[in-house]
Amino acid sequence: MLEHLLVGFQQALQWQTLLAMLVGEVVGILVGAAPGLTVTMAVSLMLPATFVLSPVAAMAMLLGVYTGGFMGNSIPAILIKIPGTPSAAATVFDGYALAQKGQAGKALGVSIIASLYGGLFSLICLVLIAPQLARVALQFGSAEVFSLLLFGMSIICSFAQHSLVKGIISGVLGLVLVTVGLDPLLGTQRFTFGHVALTQGVSLIPAMIGIFAVPQVLEDLVAKGSQAAEAFNPKLSALLPSWREIRGLFGTFNRASIIGTIIGIIPGTGGPIATFMAYDYERRVSRDPQRFGHGAIEGVAASAGADNGVTGGALVPMLTLGIPGDPVTAVMLGALTIQGLRPGPLLFEQHAPFVYGLFASLLLANLLAALMTLAAVRFSVQLLRLPKASLGPVVLLLCIVGAYSIDNSYFDVGTMLVFGLLGFVLQRYRFPTVPVVLALVLGPSLETNFRRALVESRGDPTVFVTQPLSLLFLVLAVASVLAPLRSGHKKAP
């Protein structure tokens, strides 16, 4: 393996490969930081540019976009409460709270370090135990994925800050909203009232932009008292947490990276699910869960670590089985095919230099992404120096442009505004908004896998309890619901 790794590094360190990676990183960080633009879209846009490159350089470019996007998405999430991509939604909870306390630099620094740790951890797993991990991925049928997602949904109980009933109502409202559009199995129209625009259903990114950013802008507008701009130290040393702080976060980094990598290898899941699960798990194991949602640095580390942990995990089924773990790896699969490579078990034997070149590129891409995002943070944090009176309208404008740019659709802009108003009303009347977002993220897959499991088992509902993994997740889900009831309602975001 060492020999292969050396050959891999030789390929990854060629100037063409490094240049391609650098271009990918710049695009990835910018796209990740721009509201509304997704990493999948950026990878797709870069795909034609890879046709003229060698296979390793081509993948280095796409991996640059992939890792850069996952690191860059924390910047707007922490600074202006707009998640750059759906998987940065969980970073918003504590990242924005820290920014409001004048610790945006620290939050961004920890998010980058956690992201780097998650990326490297998943890479090590990819290099050392990819075939074993692929076998785990194969254990996940529809019933298991449904139970895993249901367990993910049970996180709602943790977010019910004031009232469990209101928290669950918010989650159900979110699930109701995702039933609008085309039925996931049959493609039949459902609750569309004859409107063509409604057939696409609720677009996730505009809804998330609306529900997070718009209520915050409106609340800031009428907030009592003066809101001073953050005194920000642009020196790199001020961005990085101290060694003592990092050492205290190692447990969080490890837990988040493991969750991110495992979720990443399960096809049909992806970053948003991993980050929510890692965040919730971290809150559960914390000695002081009340801090979560009010500026707990562990919350930022958990979501960022899991987010980038997905990258290596998602490559496992793609390289070993030819099954993409998420939409980005689906595009990468296309890129590999265009380069004349066929992912699968034989790829490691027949094209070992390429595979190890890809591993080396992923390592360099992660390091480069961390350095470049740290550099980008020094400029982006200047945003916080703007007075709130100026920042609010600019954030609203970014929300509109971000929602529009996904599909060039005015319907998405309308969706963003409707969800903004909904978020404002919910927030004012003490309904948590996070369960709505969680339902929007998990809802479609939840229903699809539930019905698919029933179809596959010929209508046998016991399939969810007879499969060991499925049963395990169901038990965890029940325990997750009962825990806050027993502990008399832990406070959460």
Partner 1 sequence: MIRANLLLGALLALFGGWYLWLTTAAPHRRLPHDPGIMFVPRILACGLILLSVLLILQQIVSRLPRPKEVPPDRLDSREWLQTFGLLGLTSTYAALLPWLGFLLVTPVYLVAALFLSGARRQVSSGVTAVVVTGVIYISFVYFFRVSLPPVPFP
Q: Encode 283-322: b = buried (16+ Cβ within 10 Å), e = exposed.
A: beebeebebbbbbbbbbbbbbbbbbbbbbbbbbbbbbbbe
| Residues 183 to 222 in contact with partner 1, rule: CB under 8 A | 183, 185-186, 188, 190-191, 214, 217-218, 221-222
135 near partner 1, judged by CB under 8 A: no
CB of 410 to partner 1, least distance (A): 6
> How many beta carbons lie within 10 A of that of residue 180, not counting itself?
17
What 3-state class would DSSP assign to 181? strand
CB of 280 to partner 1, least distance (A): 20
Nearer to partner 1, 450 or 464 (CB): 450
Nearer to partner 1, 51 or 410 (CB): 410
Q: Encode 201-223: b = buried (16+ Cβ within 10 Å), e = exposed.
A: bbbbbbbbbbbbbbbbbbebeee
Which of 200, 203, 153 shows the shortest CA–CA distance to 450?
Answer: 153
Q: How far apart are CA 296 and CA 319, in angstroms?
A: 36
- Residue 209: which residues within 8 A CB-CB, separation 6 or more? 35, 36, 82, 83, 399, 402, 403, 416, 419
What 3-state class would DSSP assign to 103? coil
294 near partner 1, judged by CB under 8 A: no
The contact pattern for partner 1, residues 449-478, with x = CB under 8 A and - = no contact, is: -xx--xx-xxx-------------------
163 near partner 1, judged by CB under 8 A: yes
Q: Which of 284, 294, 378, 489 forms a contact with partner 1 (CB under 8 A)?
A: 489
CB of 123 to partner 1, least distance (A): 28
224 near partner 1, judged by CB under 8 A: yes
CB of 335 to partner 1, least distance (A): 19
482 near partner 1, judged by CB under 8 A: no
| Residues 327 to 386 in contact with partner 1, rule: CB under 8 A | none
| Residues 92 to 121 in contact with partner 1, rule: CB under 8 A | none
Q: How far apart are CA 228 and CA 240, in angstroms?
A: 23
Q: Which of 16, 54, 100, 179 forms a contact with partner 1 (CB under 8 A)?
A: 179
176 near partner 1, judged by CB under 8 A: yes
Q: How far apart are CA 305 and CA 309, in angstroms?
A: 6
The residue behind tokens 């996931």 is: 184
Nearer to partner 1, 353 or 414 (CB): 414
Q: How far apart are CA 91 and CA 306, in angstroms?
A: 11
Q: How far apart are CA 139 and CA 435, in angstroms?
A: 28
What residues make contact with partner 1 under the rule CB under 8 A? 30-31, 34, 37, 45, 162-166, 168-169, 172-173, 175-176, 179, 183, 185-186, 188, 190-191, 214, 217-218, 221-222, 224, 387-390, 392-394, 396-398, 400-401, 404-405, 408, 410, 413-414, 417, 420-421, 424, 428-430, 447, 450-451, 454-455, 457-459, 489
